[in-house]
Amino acid sequence: QLPTGLYKKVLVILHDSVLPYMNEPTLMMDFLTVAYGIGGAISLLALNGLFILIHQHNLEYPDFYKKLYSLLDPSIYHVKYRARFFHLTDLFLSSSHLPAYLVAAFIKRLSRLALTAPPEALLMIIPFICNLFRRHPACRVLVHRPGGPADMSEDPYVMEEEDPSKSRALESSLWEIQSLQNHYHPDVAKAAAVLNQSLSEMEDDISGLLELSAYELFDKEVKKKVVDVPLEFEQVRGLFGKKNDIFAEHFSLD
- The span from the CA of 34 to the CA of 39, in Å, is 10
In a domain, residue 175? The reply is yes
In a domain, residue 244? The reply is no
Q: How many domains does the chain have?
A: 1
CA-based nearest residue to 37, from 73, 14, 66: 66
In a domain, residue 20? The reply is no
The answer for residues whose C-beta is within 8 angstroms of residue 6's C-beta and 6 or more apart is: none
Handedness of CA 92, 94, 97, 101 (dihedral sign): positive
Q: What is the mean pLDDT of residues 204-214?
A: 80
Question: What pLDDT was estimated at residue 232?
Answer: 66
**Least confident segment among 19-33, 86-100, 211-225:** 211-225
191 has a pLDDT exceeding 70 = yes
Distance from chain centroid for Cα 236 = 49
**Residue 235 binned pLDDT confidence (cut-offs 50, 70, 90):** low
In a domain, residue 6? The reply is no
- The span from the CA of 60 to the CA of 77, in Å, is 28
In a domain, residue 247? The reply is no
Question: What pLDDT was estimated at residue 239?
Answer: 63
Q: In terms of residue numbers, what domain contains 126?
A: 99-146+154-221
In a domain, residue 72? The reply is no
**Residue 3 binned pLDDT confidence (cut-offs 50, 70, 90):** confident
The segment with the largest mean pLDDT, out of 141-145, 183-187, 224-228, is 183-187
The answer for residues whose C-beta is within 8 angstroms of residue 93's C-beta and 6 or more apart is: 103, 106, 132, 135
CB atoms within 10 A of CB 215: 9
149 has a pLDDT exceeding 70 = no
Q: Do the beta carbons of residue 43 and residue 37 sit within 8 Å?
A: yes
In a domain, residue 199? The reply is yes
Q: Tell which wins on pLDDT, 150 or 27.
A: 27
Taking only the tens place, the pLDDT of each residue in 89-102 is: 888 888 878 889 99
In a domain, residue 80? The reply is no
Q: What is the mean pLDDT of residues 129-146?
A: 86
